[in-house]
A and B are shown apart, each in its own frame.
Chain A
Amino acid sequence: MEGRTGDDASLVDRLRRGDPRAFEDLVIAYQHRVFGVALRMLGNRAEAEELAQEVFLRVHRAIGEFRGEAKLSTWLYAIASRLCLNRLASGEWRMARHGDQALTRLASRESSPVEEVERSELETALHRAIAELGEERRIVVVLRDLEGLSYEEIATALELELGTVRSRLHRARMDLREKLERFLP
Chain B
Amino acid sequence: MTCHDAREQFSAMIDDALDAAERAELDSHLATCAECRRELQRFRDTVALVRAAAPVRAPASFVDRVLEAARPVPWPQRLLRGLFLPWPVKLPMEAAAVVLVAVGVALVYRGSPELQQSARQEPAAPVVTQAPSVAPPEAQAPARENDAPRILYGARGEEKKAREQDTPREAEKAKAAPRAQERVEGFVKTPEPGALVDKKRAEAPTPSAPQRAPTARDADLQKGTESQDRQAPVVGKLEAPASRAERQRAAKDDVRSGATQQTELRADSLKAQRPASAPPSATSAFVPPDVSGQLAVSDRELALRSLAELVARLGAAQTRRFDTSDGPIIEIAVPREVYAELNRGLAQLGRWQPGKEPSTLPATVRVVVRITG
Contact = CB atoms under 8 A, between A and B. Distances in A.
A184 B42 contact: yes
B308 to A, nearest CB: 73
Task: Give the bracket for the number of chain B residues in contact with chain A.
Answer: 20 to 34
Contacts of A105: none
Interface in B4-25: 8, 10-12, 15, 17
B43 A173 contact: yes
B10 A170 contact: yes
B59 interface: yes
B63 A24 contact: yes
Interface in A117-152: 122-123, 126-127, 130, 141, 144-146, 151
A32 B17 contact: no
Interface in A34-52: 34-36, 39-40, 45, 49, 52
Contact of B67 (A24, A45, A108, A184): A24
A126 B56 contact: no
Interface string B52-92: 01111111001101110110000000000000000000000
Nearest to B68: A53
A27 B56 CA distance: 15
| Count class of interface residues, chain A | 35 or more
B274 interface: no
A181 B45 CA distance: 10
A31 interface: yes
B230 interface: no
Nearest to A181: B42
From A24, A40, A170, residue with most partner B Cβ within 10 Å:
A170
30 contacts: A23-B70, A24-B63, A24-B67, A27-B66, A31-B62, A36-B57, A40-B56, A45-B59, A53-B62, A53-B65, A56-B66, A57-B69, A60-B70, A107-B56, A109-B54, A123-B54, A127-B53, A141-B50, A144-B15, A145-B50, A145-B51, A146-B51, A169-B11, A170-B8, A173-B43, A173-B47, A176-B46, A177-B42, A177-B43, A180-B49
Given A31-B66, A52-B62, A52-B66, 18 more contacts: A23-B70, A27-B67, A28-B63, A34-B58, A36-B55, A57-B69, A108-B56, A123-B53, A126-B49, A145-B50, A169-B15, A170-B11, A173-B10, A173-B43, A173-B47, A180-B46, A183-B49, A184-B49
Interface of A: 23-24, 27-28, 31-32, 34-36, 39-40, 45, 49, 52-53, 56-57, 60, 107-109, 122-123, 126-127, 130, 141, 144-146, 151, 166, 169-170, 173-174, 176-177, 180-181, 183-185
